[in-house]
Structure 1
C-alpha cells in the first residue's frame, strides 16, 4: 500500500476522480501519504481541543499557529519536502500529547489516540488509516462534506497564515480550525450537522478574508489604481511569487539601493496597488503570467525567484539553483529562507545570487496594465457607477475570476471575457485574471471595463463592492445586475466559494469542472439551495446571465 495514494483536493486531479499513482501537481505517493498522516494528526489534536474550547478555555496560540501551518503545508503546490513533513508529524505528536493532558476524560476517535511511529517507513505504513477512502463503509455524502470542510479549512489557513505574519488574528477563525477538523472525525454528526458545519466554515472564510483585508490595508494602506509595467528592464532582478505581501516588503527593504529590480509574479501582481509597496522605485513591474506557466517562464532566467506561498511546480534543473522558498513552501534540494525569532528574514543569499547572475541585458517591450481596484478604490466611484446603471449606460457586471490551472478547457474564461458586451463591466481577481488581463477592454461610463480587484482573498473586496451597490439600489446582492463566474483550482477557491454561499449568494457559475469531492447528492443540494450552475459554453452562459438580469 505504501506506493499507492489517493488525492482529489484540486481541480486537475487525474481523470476528474483522484490521483492514485502520483499527483498531477508533482506530489509523490510518499508526500501524499505523509500529508494524509499530518492531517490525521491535526484532527487528533482538534479532538482534544474542541471540549476545551467548549469549556471556554484558551488554546495556546502556538498550537493554533502549528495547526494553521500544517493545514497550509498540505495545500496544493506548497510543500514537496518529505523531511519537513516528518518533522511536522513529530511536532504534532508532542502537541497532541500535551493537549491530551488538559482535555477531559472520555472516548476519543483513533486520530486522537494514535501514537506516531518512530521511522518514516513506519509512518508511511500507518498513513493508510489516514487515507480519504480508508473507511469503505462511510456514507459517500458524509465523506463528501468532510472533504469540503477540510479543503475549506485549508483555504482559510492560507489567509490566516498571511494575516498572522503581520500580527493580525481572530479567535473565532482560530477556533474554527479545531471545530471543523474535529467534525471530520465525528461519526455522531448527521448529514444536516455536516451541512451546517460546511456553512460555518464559509462564515469563517468571510471572517478571515475580512481580517486579511484589514491586515493588508492597515500595513500597506488601501490599494489605489496603478499602471504596472509587464516588460523586462535591464539589470539584476528577483521575481517574487506567491501571495505574502510582508515577504515582498522585507525583500524590498533589503534590496534598496543595491541595483536590483524586483518583479512580482502570479498572485503578487496586486502588490503594485498598495501605496506602502509601490513607493519602492525598484519594484519595477510584473514578470510572466499565472503560476502554471512558471516552468517555461523561469527556464534559464538570468535572475532569482522567491516563492513565498503556494503554486510551486517542480523546478527545472535550468533554474533549480536560483529558486528560493520561504514560509511553508518547500522542495527537496531547493534553498529555504527561514524566519528568525524576531519574525524577520535575511534575504542576503538570494540578493547576492541575483547580483552574481547579472540579470537582463536590455529593456524589452512596452506595455502596462491596471491594478488596484479594491473595495475602497472602486467604491470611491460608487456614485458614478450607480448613476451609469440607472441611466442604462452600464447594463451588467460580471465577476470573472478565481484560481487558474493548466487544463486546456480554461480558455472558456478568455472567450467569455471577450464576448462580454461593451456596456458591461468585468471585475476580476486571483490568478484566473491572467487569462485576459493583458487584453484591452476599453472604458464604459468613464471607468475601465476591466477592474482588477486583487488576490484570491480579495473575494472579500468583491463582496464589499456588491453589498455597497445593493444598498445603493435598496436591494440585495442576488437582485443586482451581477453574475459571478468562478474558476477553481485549489483549496483557497473552495474557501472563497463557501464564503459566498454562506452569504446566501445564488446563481453562481462554477468551472471548468466540478470538484471530484462533491458527491452527486451534495452537488444537487448546492444546485437546489444556491442555484449553482456548472459552466457550459461561453455563448450559452452569457446569454443566460443577461436574460436573467433582464427579468
Structure 2
C-alpha cells in the first residue's frame, strides 16, 4: 500500500507537468460551448488524449479545408484557446470511448486514435483509421511523428460529411484557472446556504446500464449543489442542463482524466480559504472505475489523504476483500450503492 501511495505522489507530479505543458502550449482553458453536429465537407474524427497531435493535425488540415471533430476525452480541446482558434475544429461526436465501433462505422471520414482507449476496428472502418503515438492496432496504419498528410489525403478521398445539427450543445473548459477566481463567490454562497454541497463526479466510463447510477446521482442532486466533473465518465450526464446558482454553473467540466489536478487545486484553495482540510469541505468525490490509469489517479487522491471517496459501480478485480477493508479503515473508502441512498447519506 505504501508503494501504491508513492505512485500517487508521482502521478500528482505527472499531472502537474502535463497541465503546465497544456497551458503553456495551448493557453489556459476557457469555458466553451461545443456543437455535437457536423459541417459540410471532408472530416477527420480524433479520439484518445493527445492534444499535441490534435494541434499538429489542425494546423495541417486547415489550409486544405478538412474539418476535425473530437471524440470522448478529446472534448476538452475546445476549451484551449489556441486549439479553438482553428476554424476547422468543428465539434464533438459521440460519447465515451466504448461507443467507437458504432460511431466510427457511421462516420464517413477518416479516424485518428492518439492514445489508449482505442478498440480493434472491424473491417467497416479499418482502412479509414490511423493510429499515432503509443496507440497501435492490428491492421491499422500507424503514423510516426506529426506528418498527417496521409490521414488528410484519406479524408479528402472519402465521402464528405453533411451539414447536420447536433441534438445537444456541450460545455467544457472550466479549468482551475477559471474556477479559482470564483472561489470567493462560491464561499459566500456556501456561507449563506445557497450552495449546500459540491460533488466531483468523474472517472472512467464503461458499457452497461449499471453506470446510469452516475446520471441518476447528478439528476437527483438538489439544486443547491454544484457538480464538478472530468474524464469520460461525464458523458453519462454532461448533456443535462442543470442551470446555475447566481451565475455559477451547476455543472463544471474541468477536462480530461489527467485534469484531476485542477479539481485538487480548487479543493485545496477552498480548504485554505476556510481554514480547514479538504476532508472538512462540503465536498464528496464519486468516482467511476474502469481501467489502470484510474488507479493512478485514485492513488494520487489517497496520497493527499482525501477520505470518504465513493467508488463504483464495480470494483477492480485486484481489490480483494482484505484490501477493501484496509482502504476503508485508512481512508474511509466507500462503495456506491444506489443514487438515492448515497445522496441521502452524503447530504444527511
Contact preservation (8 Å) 1:400, 1:426: yes
Work out which of the residue numbers 125, 129, 146 in structure 2 matches 1:323: 129
Matched, 1:489 2:270: no
Match of 1:357 in 2: 158
Larger RCO, structures 1/2 (Cα 8 Å, 6+ apart): 2
Tell me the distance in 2 between the aligned counterparts of 1:441 and 1:201. 36
Match of 1:9 in 2: none
Unaligned runs of 5+ in 1: 1-194, 340-344
Deviation at 1:529, TM superposition (A): 0.5
1:195-210 aligned within 5 A: 195-210=1-16
Match of 1:276 in 2: 82
Matched, 1:246 2:246: no
Tell me the distance in 1 between the aligned counterparts of 2:79 and 2:143. 26
Contact preservation (8 Å) 1:509, 1:533: yes
Matched, 1:406 2:207: yes
Tell me the distance in 1 between the aligned counterparts of 2:237 and 2:10. 31
Match of 1:289 in 2: 95
Tell me the distance in 1 between the aligned counterparts of 2:208 and 2:290. 10
Work out which of the residue numbers 228, 231, 235 in structure 1 matches 2:34: 228
Match of 2:63 in 1: 257
Match of 2:304 in 1: 503
Cα displacement string for residues 335-389 of structure 1 (whole angstroms, at most 9, x for unaligned residues): 11012xxxxx110111011011132133333632211111111112112111111
TM-score, structure 2 as length reference: 0.98
| Higher strand residue share | 2
Deviation at 1:496, TM superposition (A): 0.5
Tell me the distance in 2 between the aligned counterparts of 1:199 and 1:420. 31
Work out which of the residue numbers 370, 386, 407 in structure 1 matches 2:171: 370
Deviation at 1:391, TM superposition (A): 1.0
* CA 535–366 in structure 1, closer or farther in 2 if over 3 Å, else same: closer
Contact preservation (8 Å) 1:298, 1:319: yes
Deviation at 1:298, TM superposition (A): 1.0
Q: Specify the structure having the higher radius of gyration (Cα).
A: 1
Work out which of the residue numbers 497, 502, 516 in structure 1 matches 2:317: 516
1:45-56 aligned within 5 A: none
Tell me the distance in 2 between the aligned counterparts of 1:408 and 1:517. 23
Contact preservation (8 Å) 2:73, 2:232: yes
1:22-421 aligned within 5 A: 195-339=1-145, 345-365=146-166, 367-421=168-222
Match of 1:445 in 2: 246
Tell me the distance in 1 between the aligned counterparts of 2:177 and 2:106. 40
Deviation at 1:234, TM superposition (A): 1.4
Contact preservation (8 Å) 2:115, 2:132: yes
Contact preservation (8 Å) 1:394, 1:445: no
Tell me the distance in 1 between the aligned counterparts of 2:28 and 2:132. 26
Match of 1:163 in 2: none
Matched, 1:436 2:227: no
Tell me the distance in 2 between the aligned counterparts of 1:212 and 1:300. 33
* CA 408–367 in structure 1, closer or farther in 2 if over 3 Å, else same: closer
Cα displacement string for residues 78-132 of structure 1 (whole angstroms, at most 9, x for unaligned residues): xxxxxxxxxxxxxxxxxxxxxxxxxxxxxxxxxxxxxxxxxxxxxxxxxxxxxxx
Deviation at 1:485, TM superposition (A): 0.1
Unaligned runs of 5+ in 2: none
Match of 1:69 in 2: none
Contact preservation (8 Å) 2:77, 2:83: yes
Deviation at 1:318, TM superposition (A): 1.2
Deviation at 1:408, TM superposition (A): 2.4
Deviation at 1:466, TM superposition (A): 0.3
Match of 1:474 in 2: 275
Contact preservation (8 Å) 1:300, 1:318: no
Cα displacement string for residues 171-197 of structure 1 (whole angstroms, at most 9, x for unaligned residues): xxxxxxxxxxxxxxxxxxxxxxxx221
Deviation at 1:447, TM superposition (A): 1.1
